[in-house]
Amino acid sequence: MKKWISGVITLVVVILLGGWMYIDHANKENIYQTNLKNGNIALQNHDYNQAKKDFQKALDAKPDSKKANGSVSQVEKYTDGERQLRSNDFVTAKNSFKMAANVENGSKDLANQAQQKIKEVKLITANINQFNKIYKATVQQHNEKNYQLSNDTLNQILDDDTINQSYYADVLAKAKDLKKSNDKSINAANKAKLNNSNANNGSNNGTNSANGSSNDLSQFNVYTNPQEYANRFVNSGTSSNTSTVDNTNIANGPLSVTNDPYDVYTNPNEYSNRFN
C-alpha cells in the first residue's frame, strides 16, 4: 500500500515538474520569438538602441541562440561605427562598419546598411583630402601675395554643397580664416592705392596753380580779349597803322584797320581760335 502511494506521489511530481518545464520552455520561446521580431522591426525604423534592447531580451530568453547573439553583436558594432563617425574618427568607424557587415547570423538589412556606411566614410575621407589639397594651394597663393586668386580658389571649398556638414568643420574653419586674411590684405592694398592717387592729384593741382598765369591762354583769345588785338598791327615806330584807318568805325566800336587782311575785326576767322 505504501509503495503504491509513493509511486502515485512520484508520478504526480514528475507530471507537475514536466508540465512546469514545458510551460517555462514555451514561455521563453515565446519571449525569444517576440523580442527577435521586435528587434527586426526596430532595425527597419533605424531605432538601433531599441533593437539592441529587444535582441538582448531574446538572448536572455534563449542564451544559446546564435541568431540572438549575432544580432546583438551586429547592432553593437554598427552603433559603435555611427558614434565614431560623428566624432570624425573615420578609420575606426570604417572598421566597425566592416565588422557589422560581416557578422554571421545577423540581420541582412543591417549588413546592407553597414555597407552603405562604408561607402559614405570613403566619400567623406576623399572629400576631406580634396578640400585639404585645395586649401594648401590657396595658402601658397596667399604667401605669394596673390590674395584675390587665393580667394577665388577658396570658393571651391566655400561653395561646395557638402562643406557645412560636420565632417568638414576643421577645413571649413581654416578656409574662412584664410579668406578673412586675404580680404584684409586686399582692403589694405586698395586703401594704399587710393591714398597714392589722392597724393598725386594734390601734387598736380599744386603745380597747375603755380603755373596758372602762364597756362591761362584766355588773354590771347580774339573774342575774350579783342582789345589785345585792336592795334596789333599798328607800326610800333610811328604808333600808327600802316594802312588807312577808317575813323568812322572808331565811334561804333574798337579800332578797325581797313584793307588789312590780318585785321582782327575785318577778318575775325583768321583769329577765331588762334590761341586756344
Q: What is the DSSP letter of 89?
A: -
**What pLDDT band is residue 27 in, cutting at 50, 70 and 90?**
confident
**What pLDDT band is residue 257 in, cutting at 50, 70 and 90?**
very low
Per-residue pLDDT tens digits for 91-116: 999 999 999 999 999 999 999 999 99
- Residue 79 or residue 6, greater confidence: 79
Q: What is the DSSP letter of 166?
A: G
Per-residue pLDDT tens digits for 186-219: 999 999 888 887 777 766 665 555 555 444 545 5
On the question of pLDDT at 52 being above 60, the answer is: yes
**What pLDDT band is residue 244 in, cutting at 50, 70 and 90?**
very low
Residue 189, CB-side half-sphere exposure with 13 Å CA sphere: 10
Q: What is the mean pLDDT of residues 240-269?
A: 47
Task: Give the global pTM.
Answer: 0.61
On the question of pLDDT at 181 being above 80, the answer is: yes
pLDDT at 105: 92
Torsion of CA 40, 46, 52, 57, to 10 degrees: -40
pLDDT at 133: 97
On the question of pLDDT at 250 being above 50, the answer is: no
For all residues of the chain together, what is the average pLDDT?
A: 79
On the question of pLDDT at 236 being above 50, the answer is: no
Spatial neighbors of 65 by CB under 8 A, at least 6 apart, are: 32, 58, 59
Q: What is the mean pLDDT of residues 117-140?
A: 97
On the question of pLDDT at 145 being above 50, the answer is: yes
Q: What is the mean pLDDT of residues 5-10?
A: 63
Q: Are 245 and 258 in contact (CB under 8 A)?
A: yes
Among 28-37, 81-90, 150-159, 263-272, the minimum mean pLDDT is found in 263-272
- Give the residue carrying C-alpha cell 566800336: 253
Give the phi and the psi of residue 63 in degrees, each rounded to 5: -60, -25
Per-residue pLDDT tens digits for 166-175: 999 999 999 9
Whole-number CA gyration radius for the chain: 52
DSSP secondary structure string for all residues of 187-233:
HHHHHHHHHHHHHHHHHHHHHHHHTHHHH--GGG-TTT-THHHHTTT
Share of the chain above pLDDT 90, in %: 59
